[in-house]
Structure 1
Amino acid sequence: MKQDAGPRESMSVDHIPDAVPREEPRTIAGNKNPYTVRGKTYTLLPSPEGYKSQGIASWYGRKFHGHTTSNGEIYNMYGMTAAHKTLPIPSYVRVTHRENGRSVIVRVNDRGPFHDGRIIDLSYTAAKKLGFVDSGTAPVEVEYIDPRQYRGAPSSLPVPPAPPSVLTASLGTSRSSGSPQMPAAPSPAYSGGYEIPDNTYLQVGAFSSREVAERLLVRLQVVTSYPVRIYTSKESAFFRVRIGPLKDSYDLLMLRETLAQHNVPQAHIVYQ
């Protein structure tokens, strides 16, 4: 991709919790010191404790999604992570949008941004939660969190509403994509994924014709290793095509992205 971008379709990220600071070993991976990028040499902070700085934050998304970060982990634009030029990897920081007061906690596992005036590069999700995805950059304050002294708790997760009894979709409906396919990435440590109810499915369509539902089922079986089935009930004449049950929130998001790549209609979460 020449130009970075977020997911092909805007989505809510309110259900994705902040990173939870915890003590982790710092290895050589990602912590080369000093290091040089584009002719400029950077030296890591000898001690991150007490670090607090203000500047401009940016974000990075689909262009780097599925690629390795500076410490060898897989970048996940749906996780709560960030890139910083001089903080040790991994580090945890609180990032506060100075104009709207929103705040998130992210885990630094990458290097950058290598642009003058920018102090941190956030994942798509972190930027979305701070409210500056559309503008691209925002004035922020970045403060280091010492895991040994952290007493916070993970963000509470909202209970999803019950879905309608029938969710209809047209097999002819599709979304075109001019972007190249990106690799599906395995879930890295602390990616931001969390457990979801074990009766969570993605419903891709509901049709009055079983033949149409079966054609869609065949298409879906090629693009996912999750079970794909057709469900019916005495109360309704519709044939519902569902994928699942799903394992966790990360798999759910990645499956939606995969479906979008294959021009499959927008899927809805259902519970059965």
Structure 2
Amino acid sequence: MNIFLEILLLLLTFIYSYLEAFVKLFIPLKRKSVSGEIVLITGAGHGIGRITATLFAKLESVLVLWDINKNGVDETARECRKLGAKVYAYVVDCSKREEIYATAAKVKEEVGDVNILINNAGIVFCADLLTLQDSQIQKIFEVNILAHFWTTRAFLPSMITNNHGHIVTVASSAGVIGVPFLVDYCATKFAAFGYHKSLTAELSAIKKPGIKTTCLCPVFVNTGFVKNPSTSFLPERALKALNKFLDVKFDAKVQCIDKDK
């Protein structure tokens, strides 16, 4: 496409997006109730997972919290119970498929059918491609993307039966633009973004409009794996538009924390 047409299309996208946001200030969309819905959150022991759990607790959802860190998931559970939520906490290693399937079966028996699945668990290693260990590359794919397949395969059947549910994929801004020294992480988040798009298309193809999907692409945040993150690019809405229509450079700096030390 001609570069001038691309820029024009970008400007029109900006204008439409801001007009849409302006209208919603005065005519907000009606939020659906999640009261009583069973919400499963992976990686709920800290960071985005913990914040998400507390938000759903305030909305009176039934929470199923998964994390590999027992102290972390128990702390999140305590916070959510203080808010009046009914909470079930499980220690799960999302890099292990059989452990995911076994715990999913336990959840179905002890809690019921999961209505909202939030695939949030993730890990990150900050190193150049040649410094990364083979085991680290395998591990990050197991947690950041393969676990999405196993959790969805475990809980999607009941959603299909009821034509009701919501699957949330927590990807990253690093899932749309590559970042140096995060080749493994970016690859998994690109995969997560593609997984979301394909799953959404598949649910449409099998005519299950009652099952919704959402993909989140946050910038780097303090989650326990990174320290003092900073980015130097445009706001996220502008980033998405620029990435779609132009060749954009992404500059991000993160300081990783070795969780094994």
TM-score above 0.5: no
Higher helix proportion:
2
TM-score range, shorter chain: under 0.3
Q: Scaled by the length of structure 1, what TM-score is found?
A: 0.24
Could you say which structure has the greater relative contact order, defined with CA pairs below 8 angstroms and 6 or more residues apart?
A: 1
Q: Scaled by the length of structure 2, what TM-score is found?
A: 0.24
